């Protein structure tokens, strides 16, 4: 059971074997994706036919590599734009909510804080359809009674941003509120006593204290937005973000260019993860992991 | 609602007494929260409920009633899919728990120092990568021309490559894989807080592995088990990508029915009813899980 108790050799080996198998299970799909991005064949399947970079830079012979595949590159850009909006909105709203939960007192606060967690237990597909239906009703209303056409309420990127934001902001709120809870209020009082203005206190004391949580919440918001599928699927218009584009291509058939873009994503998200995990304030990040 | 909350305000920011400008500050802080919760959560769901109660009787003519819910009961395909999704989600949750528990135990109790944090981070890393990528990996591994069928042929286990995609087991493997993180993290933190001396004491008093597990470890880890299971169940039930890609046409997952009604058939009323049924099922099971294990919703969400 635990190291301080006598354990037989068999049980030790079984332990290590199990953990080994567990990590093989976790990593095999990713390794396979990465390896077949370099296979010199038109189909991501064994056998190994030699090393090639065609699936990244190729532009001839029916092999369009990742960087030559305009729709794919455009979908990466679309995802990045959506993720930037979601991140900015989530940090702003999350910080406001954190102050509301930690500093303000009003009736109905418990109910409100519960409601703030609700988006995390609503399946993403349902968040998507409810926002789709509601936005379309508003657009219909504006059209029928005011005679104006509101484009951003029709399926498209603005709705995708709102749909992803609707639950990612819950996570940002939790992360930032947890950090704000640990803020020592006497620091703020001392600063006021020493004659600092509200603005000074906010910029020199509060903001540096909150910074790790803001950065962590932002990184998680960006990543979750970039990877979101369920909510996006329901709200997407003609501009497909990367996950939707990949899904469409995976249904049509396989091409190693998908492996190439996947490898690109893996490297990018690992770099982001490592950068965050190396930060001293790692607790804020690991606590708020999706 | 904003006005009502504001007028009932008793005391406010940073312990100051109620002053007009503090009320304004409170209102300014409440505004984003209310905008978000009312505009994107509450009103859309109320609207969805209303939509699900409308039945199309003729083009552009609707009447109120439970017609869409009756269709759900009358059409075996729909409720079969619903029950199947629920049962498979429960099964996937149990499998995830059984597979994650020993690994979490090893990380929390047996590994030490750097190995421990390394193993923990290694558990997290695959989940920083998009679910689409992970599913692509499974497809390359399992499809007929893929890695695993070929390996089976070369090892002489099967005569020719077998199709490992598009089975229920495939869907289950994919779902378990995708949910693993959400089980491992709460389990590790629950097991880490268990004092080793309790296990030693139980051992000294003659307990064996099984009785220690049943009487000491599981009661202590119950909050973590509950938190992990609730989240895994919820995510599995609402999953779309893994069942459709790994299960193909036979996946029969309920979120797929919602998508079909909403996007393919443009029958929003029926789709809204399906969405509501899924929401009710998800909420009911989450609530049941909380009641059975005596947990608080807020604690569970914060723990995960």
Is it true that the peptide bond before A123 is cis, omega within 30 degrees of 0? no
Contacts of A22 in chain B (CB under 8 A): 99, 102-103
Domain assignments of chain A as residue spans, ordered by start: 71-242+281-287
Q: B41-90 pLDDT, tens per residue?
A: 999 999 999 999 988 777 777 778 888 898 898 989 999 999 999 999 99
The complex's ipTM?
0.86
Contact B9 A106 (CB under 8 A): yes
Q: Does the beta-carbon distance from B279 to A226 stay under 8 Å?
A: no
Residue A279 has a pLDDT of 62
Residues of A in contact with B273 (CB under 8 A): none
Nearest to B126 among A26, A103, A137 (CB): A26
Whole-angstrom distance, CA of residue A289 vs CA of residue B119: 16
Angle B100-B102-B106 from CA coordinates, rounded to 5°: 115
- CA-nearest of B268, B281, B254, B265 to B51 is B268
Please tell me the number of Cα atoms within 13 Å of B26 on its side-chain side: 30
Give the helix ranges, DSSP H, for A104-156: 109-117, 124-141
Tokens of A32: 């396979």
Q: How far is A1 from chain B (nearest CA, A)?
A: 7
**CA–CA gap between residue B121 and residue B98 (Å, rounded):** 20
Q: What is the dihedral of CA B259, B138, B170, B280, to 10 degrees?
A: -40
Supply the pLDDT for residue B1.
Answer: 42
Residues of A whose CB is below 8 A from B130: 226-227, 229, 243, 262, 265, 269
**List of domains in chain B:** 1-37 (no CATH), 67-303 (1.10.3720.10)
What is the pLDDT at residue A251? 86
Cα-based torsion angle of the residue sequence A223, B37, B18, B8 in order, rounded to the nearest 10 degrees = -160
CATH topology classification for A71-242+281-287:
MetI-like fold (1.10.3720)
Q: What is the pLDDT of residues B172-228, one digit of tens each?
A: 999 999 999 899 999 998 999 888 888 888 888 888 888 888 888 988 888 889 889
Say if B8 is an interface residue toward chain A (CB within 8 Å): yes
Q: Which of A36-50, B100-114, B224-238, B240-254 is least confident?
A: A36-50
The per-residue pLDDT for range B132-166, each reduced to its tens digit, is: 999 999 999 998 888 898 889 889 888 888 888 88
Residue B279 has its nearest CB partner, among A107, A126, A272, at A126
- Which has more pLDDT, B294 or A198? A198
pLDDT for residue A30: 93
Token pair, residue A68, equals 């030559």
Q: Specify whether the CB–CB gap between B41 and A128 falls below 8 A.
A: no
**Out of A36, A117, A178, closest to residue B140 by CB:** A36
Would an 8 Å CB–CB cutoff place B65 in contact with chain A?
A: no
Mean pLDDT (10-residue bins), chain A, 290 residues: 77 90 94 90 82 79 78 93 96 94 87 90 92 93 86 90 95 92 89 89 90 91 92 92 92 86 88 73 44
A133 and B48 within 8 Å at the Cβ level: the answer is yes
Of B30, B47, B278, the CB nearest to A133: B47
Q: How far is A51 from chain B (nearest CA, A)?
A: 17
CB atoms under 10 Å from CB of A185, counted, come to 11
Reference A260, options A80, A52, A81; nearest CA is A52
Question: Could you tell me which chain B residue has the CA closest to the CA of A22?
Answer: B103
What is the rounded CA–CA span in Å between residue A279 and residue B153? Answer: 47
């Amino acid at each position: 059971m635990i190291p301080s108790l006598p354990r037989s050799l068999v049980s030790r080996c079984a332990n290590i074997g199990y953990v080994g198998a567990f990590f093989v299970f976790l990593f095999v799909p990713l390794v396979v994706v990465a390896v077949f991005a370099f296979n010199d064949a038109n189909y991501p399947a064994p056998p190994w036919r030699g090393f090639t970079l065609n699936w990244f830079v190729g532009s001839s012979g029916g092999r369009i590599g990742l960087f030559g595949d305009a729709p794919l590159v455009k979908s990466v850009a679309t995802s990045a734009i959506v993720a930037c909006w979601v991140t900015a909105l989530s940090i702003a709203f999350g910080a406001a909510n954190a102050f509301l939960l930690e500093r303000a007192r009003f009736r109905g606060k418990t109910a409100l804080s519960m409601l703030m967690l609700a988006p995390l237990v609503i399946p993403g597909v349902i968040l998507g359809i409810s926002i789709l239906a509601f936005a379309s009703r508003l657009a219909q209303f504006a059209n029928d009674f005011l005679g104006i056409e509101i484009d951003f309420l029709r399926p498209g990127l603005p709705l995708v941003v709102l749909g992803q934001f609707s639950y990612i902001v819950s996570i940002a709120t939790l992360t930032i509120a947890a950090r704000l809870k640990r803020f020592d209020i006497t620091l703020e009082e001392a600063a006021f006593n020493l004659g600092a203005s509200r603005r000074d206190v906010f910029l020199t004391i509060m903001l540096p204290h909150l910074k790790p949580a803001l950065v962590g919440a932002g990184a998680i918001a960006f990543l979750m937005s970039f990877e979101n599928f369920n909510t996006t699927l329901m709200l997407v218009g003609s501009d497909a973000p990367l996950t939707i584009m990949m899904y469409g291509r995976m249904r049509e058939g396989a091409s190693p260019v998908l492996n190439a873009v996947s490898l690109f994503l893996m490297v990018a998200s690992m770099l982001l993860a490592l950068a965050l995990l190396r930060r001293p304030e790692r607790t804020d990040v690991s606590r708020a992991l999706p | 609602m904003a006005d009502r909350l504001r007028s009932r305000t008793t005391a406010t920011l940073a312990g100051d007494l109620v002053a007009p400008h503090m009320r304004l500050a409170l209102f300014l802080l409440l505004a984003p929260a209310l905008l978000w919760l009312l505009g994107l959560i509450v009103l859309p769901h109320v609207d969805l409920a209303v939509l699900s109660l409308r039945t199309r009787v003729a083009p552009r003519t609707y009447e109120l009633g439970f017609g869409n819910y009756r269709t759900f009961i009358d059409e075996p395909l729909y409720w079969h899919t619903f029950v199947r999704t629920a049962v498979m989600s429960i099964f996937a949750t149990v499998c995830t728990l059984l597979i994650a528990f020993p690994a979490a135990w090893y990380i929390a109790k047996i590994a030490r120092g750097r190995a421990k944090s390394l193993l923990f981070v290694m558990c997290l890393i695959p989940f920083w990568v998009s679910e689409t990528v992970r599913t692509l990996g499974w497809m390359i591994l399992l499809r007929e021309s893929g890695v695993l069928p070929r390996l089976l042929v070369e090892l002489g286990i099967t005569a020719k490559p077998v199709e490992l995609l598009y089975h229920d087991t495939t869907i289950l493997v994919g779902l378990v894989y995708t949910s693993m993180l959400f089980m491992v993290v709460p389990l590790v933190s629950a097991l880490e807080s268990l004092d080793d001396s309790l296990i030693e004491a139980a051992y000294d008093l003659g307990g064996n592995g099984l009785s220690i597990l049943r009487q000491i470890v599981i009661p202590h880890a119950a909050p973590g088990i509950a938190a992990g299971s609730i989240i895994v169940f919820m995510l599995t039930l609402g999953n779309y990508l893994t069942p459709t890609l790994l299960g193909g046409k036979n996946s029969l997952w309920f979120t797929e029915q919602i998508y079909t009604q909403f996007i393919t058939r443009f029958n929003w009323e029926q789709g809204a009813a399906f969405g509501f049924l899924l929401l009710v099922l998800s909420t009911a099971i989450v609530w049941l899980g909380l009641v059975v294990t005596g947990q608080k919703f807020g604690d569970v969400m914060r723990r995960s």
